[in-house]
Amino acid sequence: MGKPKYILLVRHGESEGNCDKSVNRFTPNHIVALTEQGHIQALRAGQVLKDFLQQEILSDVCKKVRNPKSIMFYTSPYLRARQTCNNIIEGIKDLPGVEYNIHEEPRMREQDFGNFQSTPEEMESIWEERAHYGHFFYRIPHGESAADVYDRIASFNETLFRQFQQDDFPNILILVTHGIWARVFLMKWFRWSYEEFESLRNIPHCQYLIMKRCEENGKFCLKTPLKTWDELPESDIDDEEVQKEFKDEVTFNTKGKIHNPEDMDISSILRAQKNAIKASRSKDREIKKQFESIKHGSNYSDKIKSRFKLENQSVANSVEDLSK
């Protein structure tokens, strides 16, 4: 069967809307573009992918069942995601042996926030109501809830599972998408609860989330576990703090041994995430303040704080069931 060895999710680079929310009042969400920094982030992600594909160990892991450098890109049709995908491909398109295909997938679009956004005061009221109601089930006026995103991801996953039945499906599947979509995708895949989803921090721009298939049982294990708001330190951002978070992530994924042969094939990607982690920290702190102000008044705050553990982001629930 052609199930890929690796599934990589990557959030688009920094966009104009990430830097200036007023953009969403005048520009349709699907044509919000990357900033100059966003293009740089995406080009770096292409270099990270190139370094990954150049490893000799990659061929050994794949055991020559198919071209280890064969890639299927699925991208959201939103401009910032397509630009990110194109920038990533710039890093690998001339690499010998690389084969890739690109498909735009409308079901991979970001959560719909309701056409042009209103005044800052009205949007602030919506975000506050959403925080009190719960991010997963709250439906944005004239838009979607994260639960709606979940439903279309379920449909998209069924498409993937059918394609995985093809013997010639590429060795690497890369999903170029958005922050909420990526978290909901993992929630669906690993069967996390909505409380667990609520507790997750956003994903840094152009950071790869690696799902790797285990040879023993054919299931996928998440090798770059997501962080929760409760895990965000209170101290100011500094290099030592970022280094510790980066080190903890790599240590977890390699079972305490950076030279663990099982994950040596993905170690180059893991090591490259340091800049993405650092770039997201200041924005994380701003969002955490909002999270904390609402969490204590919520009737499910205790569940959000206590239920989500790293072991939940595991291989245990990673199985497709086409009967459902």
Would you call 103 a catalytic residue per the annotation?
Answer: no
Q: Which amino acid, residue 180? A: I
Catalytic residue among 105, 110, 196, 249: 110
pLDDT at 103 over 70: yes
**Mean pLDDT within 85-112:** 95
Q: Is 18 annotated as a binding residue?
A: yes
Percent of the chain with pLDDT over 70: 69
DSSP 39: H
Would you call 262 a catalytic residue per the annotation?
Answer: no
Catalytic residue among 12, 39, 178, 205: 12
HSE, CB side, 13 Å, CA atoms: give it for residue 85: 26
Can you tell me which residue has the tokens 């892991």? 61
The pLDDT of residue 246: 44
Q: Is 196 annotated as a binding residue?
A: no
- pLDDT category of residue 284 using cuts at 50, 70 and 90: low
Burial class of 155 by CB neighbour count within 10 A (0 to 12, 13 to 18, 19+): exposed
What contacts 82, CB < 8 A, 6 or more positions away? 75, 76, 104, 176
Q: Is 17 annotated as a binding residue?
A: yes
**Structural domains of the chain ordered from first start:** 6-312 (3.40.50.1240)
pLDDT at 22 over 50: yes
Q: Is the dihedral of CA 169, 170, 173, 176 positive or negative?
A: negative
| Position with higher pLDDT, 304 vs 278 | 278
Q: Is 12 annotated as a binding residue?
A: yes
Contact 277, 246 (CB under 8 A): yes
**Mean pLDDT within 239-244:** 46
The pLDDT of residue 292: 57
**Mean pLDDT within 60-69:** 69
Q: Is 11 annotated as a binding residue?
A: yes
- pLDDT category of residue 189 using cuts at 50, 70 and 90: very high
- pLDDT category of residue 323 using cuts at 50, 70 and 90: very low
| Position with higher pLDDT, 12 vs 260 | 12
Does the global pTM surpass 0.85?
no
**Mean pLDDT within 277-306:** 52
Q: Is 132 annotated as a binding residue?
A: no
The pLDDT of residue 127: 77
- pLDDT category of residue 99 using cuts at 50, 70 and 90: very high
**Mean pLDDT within 303-323:** 52
The pLDDT of residue 303: 45
- pLDDT category of residue 59 using cuts at 50, 70 and 90: low
Closest C-alpha to 294, from 72, 112, 130: 130
